[in-house]
Amino acid sequence: HDHEGKGHLGANDNASGIAGLLAVAQAVRQGEPPKRTIVFATFGGEELGMLGSYHLAAHAPEALPNAKVVQFINLDMIGRNWPDTIVAIGREHSDLGKTLEAVNAQHPELGMAAIDDRWPEENFYGRSDHYNFAKNGVPILFFFNGVHADYHQVSDSPDKIDADKESRILQLLFYLGQAVANNPQRPQWNPDSYAKIVQPPKPAS
């Protein structure tokens, strides 16, 4: 569901994100409905050019009216590496970063530090499904554990997933989603980031 046809085993990249999405979706369904609708989407063809997310983003005016899409949270590889840390790429580009900090401070029991992008030179911001929404003007957060020796290998197996770490990340993301969905104010871009990232719409042909 991420790397079709590439020959990876894919437990962390990205079965960890798909399983996490399903778990959060179940929690949202069982709880009090938030004021904003929360849409859960999984995408095929990420490593073939982010094809699935490109399609949804391109058709968002019909499928998900783009003026109403207020944020995009991406889970891509969240089950490995440091047990108490997850990288939140993109947090500096909008006030979603401050919302994340506030939510995390409200839940110290999770013991999960959400930190800045440690590898800006790798341009992970532009390499996963959130980017197709970011360039259309939707503020994003991309949760990512970084690469490891099993990245893109058949050795990326389920026994290496840190289930406790992932469960705490998912609880944090549930609280984050609720905070944004129940906030009457939309997340706001950093103006400098907006100017650099958001691409102007193409003129009609």
Phi, psi of 155 (to 5 degrees): -80, 0
- Closest to 77 measured CA to CA, from 15, 34, 139, 162: 15
Catalytic: which of 32, 46, 121, 166?
46
- Is 92 labeled as catalytic in the residue annotation? no
Q: What amino acid positions are annotated as catalytic residues?
A: 46
